[in-house]
Structure 1
């Protein structure tokens, strides 16, 4: 038999918290052969990401790993849990590399993205100067970043969520590692770019004999990408099988539940006679890229003259590739960034309102951002995060009343209220997204901007959140603007859909009609990428 590249035996990870010891990983056994793709799947909180951090020796101080992790690298077999830190720093990025789940918290906001990739090359290779620059541009081209020679000087905040994830992938692949740990690498990507990235990873894997530990909750991707699958639940592996065997004849009930979990159902139609709650005309957003003294400044038009109407109780879905302007449009409608055009909310003209004039309306218009960890304060407990808006907008509520509202909202998003004393870093990515949803819902707004609210959630939890959003919408007459690259979720939740590309609307219409017979070639491309094989 071929010697495994990585062997894990009886790995256990305990977190020693003030409330007691929590076993995030109870007993993990797996191995990865050179050139193999092993998928580690399971719901949020199952221990997938903690296991990957244990391999990289990046666990927080509160965590205590035990067991065995054996790495067969350039120096032969090494026990990673006992490897000196200096040697571990050489292994990270050079022999074992990792793509993290949330790019905005992994990238330095004060450094240009090109400099951040150069830093990896400087640490692990001899490339310097123009040679390093050309390698960075080559990596950006490989991962599909548009205009790489210009983007090399951009900061992370100037990129979309999907583009930031592609920068992370470029950094991970810079030194051509033997093992790539990909922790939800396509979560923030639209379906067309997801297919490109998966094909890219396969090509690089075949070229360099690279093994991949692929951590994901998207079984649709696993079906087409992995050689073997390990299904993880509550810190333990419940089933391991080849991909074909697992999907054709899953043995464990939990595996069968994961495979069968897909967004389903359709939203009840909205009465067309209901009044328009949000109206926008000729919305434009322009960003200054470079200001010059004696020559015209350079600008980028992110949103180019969009009109839309959303009736009370309606859900409008906005889909398109990363960088198409979806999130920028949403923020412009909520007056969270400068824009031109007219916006009216419930007969109130928002166009020229300043910050103080907007404050009374903020509680009626809430937002759930794409990156939950980046939008949650690490210094506040979950209870403090969720109740923060209540303290601002409802200062007359007593402490007991705020606490009751927080408990009620956490229960609605399927989180145990007893966990409200914990901090965001103690939760999985999916749990953090539910906290972000609770923070918006606690104010009982009339309008909710949902910017990729299910992107970090596994399919089974997605179904719960979709049903929750439907229930809340019917109960409280809520209106949603739902931004997503997950067309299956949009189809299950939206009344009508706008398809955006490069800041413009290419197609719009009633949801079922648009999905049944898309007219624009770009819309048809999105449909093919979403519902047909992701990897050929």
Structure 2
């Protein structure tokens, strides 16, 4: 254990009897049920458990960041100072300087109206007393530290112009800017590919050692926990079921639940469709360019090619996995195939040439071409109940259905994705990240589409739930003859889910082929690097 900067060994954070409750139309939801935990100076404490176990809500309660219908009771002391019940002014003296938090879903934490350079500079100017010119130097340094490519250009980018992984790294840069005493990292590598995961973890470890910073790591990825944490707290249904050192938890777990988590891993294989299966969606020579305008600091109008001459042919019943590092063009390609953004190339859906289809012409096809977004919270309206969200498409595409019939379809869809039908009366903020991801899947499948593009659909899910979702998607595919484009940085999930794999880098395809061929005998150095990084983190 490392002594803190004050020269004492007192706990950085001491939590006793902490409870978090939410008031809902169906009664109170007890998200956290009186837990105890301690964070020691300089250590990394991992908090693990399935989606909905209360991991994130525990820390949100401590930080005073619960939604309006949430309340926290009990005790949470930062170096002896009680945080529960502390007035906002007192909390603000601690938050952002002494304790910072990296959130699970960065798109909802970044202002869409400001460049990422401006957003990182603001807290530096406020807390450190620097000028914006001085802050610009620090911003570039932070962007380089967290692995953002071309930081001099990206400093002028807006959040929507960056991939999910890049936005996550921006959040990490913001959290580390003021060298906090305690960093709460809520799934900090969820949206990152395996090579960048390793870089980010090395970065956090080096900063932790340099500043004596304590870290609370909230994650479902036990591979990361094993390599990065000192101690582990295992949570289930709002309670702590087991805690101990890394050695104790991984080598001698006492509880069956902990053993189940350690044994969970995506498995199985996807058989390819018959050679005679028809092509249902095709994009030939797909190109996507983004205009990059002048930003807060500097820059002139330029064009950035995100997808460069890529061709994809998706058969009925096939699952194509697309892998590559953050910013490789995976998600942009998926949106181009659905004709959701301006792009060049030739496109066919079934026997229809949709290359020249505008927004109006594509509208009747939307129910058959669905997309599950990487960031479910950003795509779910906070003002609508889950039932309203997942049946919204029915209002447009099946207007003849009565309200009762739509409700029945919502119940069925929620059951299909493993959620309690009563969830349809609740709002998105009342769910964990993993539960919100399943809501997003329910919204897509309720329309019974022919093609679903899944953009990191399991990125926020723990391993045990990943397996359930994979089985769900397989069952839906078999039952309805669905075709998937499965975009992910998680190679274990890609291997279990896909029958064909495309590897992308810098907007181009560097390798493609049958799943078994790509995983067992990759030809390109880049593909081999991805495989090696994934294996090292297991």
TM-score (norm 1): 0.97
Residue 32 of structure 1 aligns with which residue? Answer: 39
| Deviation per residue, 1:488-512 (Å, 9 max, x gap) | 0000010100000000000000001
Unaligned residue ranges in structure 2 (runs of 5+): 1-7
The equivalent residue for 2:327 is 323
Distance 1:82 1:386, change over 3 A: closer
Q: Is 1:508 the equivalent of 2:515? A: no
CA deviation digits over 1:233-266, x for unaligned, max 9? Answer: 0111000010111111111110011111110001
- The answer to whether the aligner puts 1:49 opposite 2:52 as a matched pair is no
Distance in structure 2 (CA, Å) of the matches to 1:136 and 1:124: 14
Q: 1: CA distance between counterparts of 2:381 and 2:152?
A: 34
1:361-380 equivalent positions in 2, closer than 5 A: 361-380=365-384
Partner of 1:401: 405
Segment of structure 1 superposing worse, 354-363 or 133-142: 354-363
Q: Which residue is 1:438 aligned to?
A: 442
1:191 maps to: 194
The answer to whether the 8 A contact 1:90-1:124 is kept is no
SS in structure 1 at match of 2:137: helix
* Matched position secondary structure for 1:196: helix
Write the deviation string for residues 107-143 of structure 1: whole angstroms up to 9, x where unpaired.
Answer: 1111111111111112211211321110111111100
Is 2:244 the counterpart of 1:241? yes
**What is the SS of the residue equivalent to 1:457?**
coil
1:44-123 paired onto structure 2 within 5 Å: 44-72=51-79, 77-123=80-126
1:265 matches 2:268: yes
Structural mapping, 1:291-302, within 5 Å = 297-302=301-306
Is contact 2:377–2:436 with CA below 8 Å preserved after alignment? yes
Map of 2:215 onto structure 1: 212
2:348 maps to 344
For structure 1, the 5+ residue unaligned runs are: none
- Indicate how the Cα distance of structure 1 residues 267 and 296 shifts in structure 2: closer, same or farther if over 3 A, else same: same
In the alignment, which of 144, 147, 166 is matched to residue 169 of structure 2?
A: 166
Question: In the alignment, what sits opposite 1:284?
Answer: 287
Deviation at 1:398, TM superposition (A): 2.3
Displacement after TM superposition at 1:310 (Å): 1.1
- Deviation readout 1:346-378 (Å, 9 max, x if unpaired): 011110012221111111111100000000111
Q: Displacement of 1:82 after TM fit? A: 3.7
Runs of 4+ in 1 over 4 A off after TM superposition: none
Tell which deviates more after alignment, 185-194 or 57-66. 57-66
**How many residues end up aligned between the 2 structures?**
528
CA distance in 2, matches of 1:115, 1:125: 15
Query: Which residue of the partner structure matches residue 451 of structure 1?
Result: 455
SS in 1 for 2:511: strand
CA distance in 1: counterparts of 2:238 and 2:141, whole angstroms: 39
Give the CA RMSD over aligned residues: 1.5
In the alignment, does 2:146 pair up with 1:143?
A: yes
**Distance in 1 separating the partners of 2:294 and 2:179:** 37
In structure 1, distance between residues paired with 2:159 and 2:287: 22
Whether 1:124 aligns to 2:124 is no
SS of the residue aligned with 2:217?
strand
Contact 2:61 2:71 in 1 (8 A): no
TM-score, structure 2 length as denominator? 0.96
Counterpart-to-counterpart distance in 2, 1:58 and 1:399: 35
What per-residue deviation string (whole Å, max 9, x for no partner) do you get for residues 180-235 of structure 1? 00001000111111110000000000010000000001111101110000000011
Q: Does 1:496 align with 2:500?
A: yes
2:316 corresponding residue in structure 1: 312
Provide the rounded CA distance (Å) in 2 between the counterparts of 1:58 and 1:494: 39
Q: C-alpha deviations, 1:151-201, integer Å up to 9, x for none?
A: 111111111111111110000000000100000100011111111000000
d(CA) in 2 for partners of 1:250, 1:297 = 57
**Separation in structure 2 between the aligned mates of residue 255 and residue 88 of structure 1, nearest angstrom:** 34
SS at match of 2:84: helix
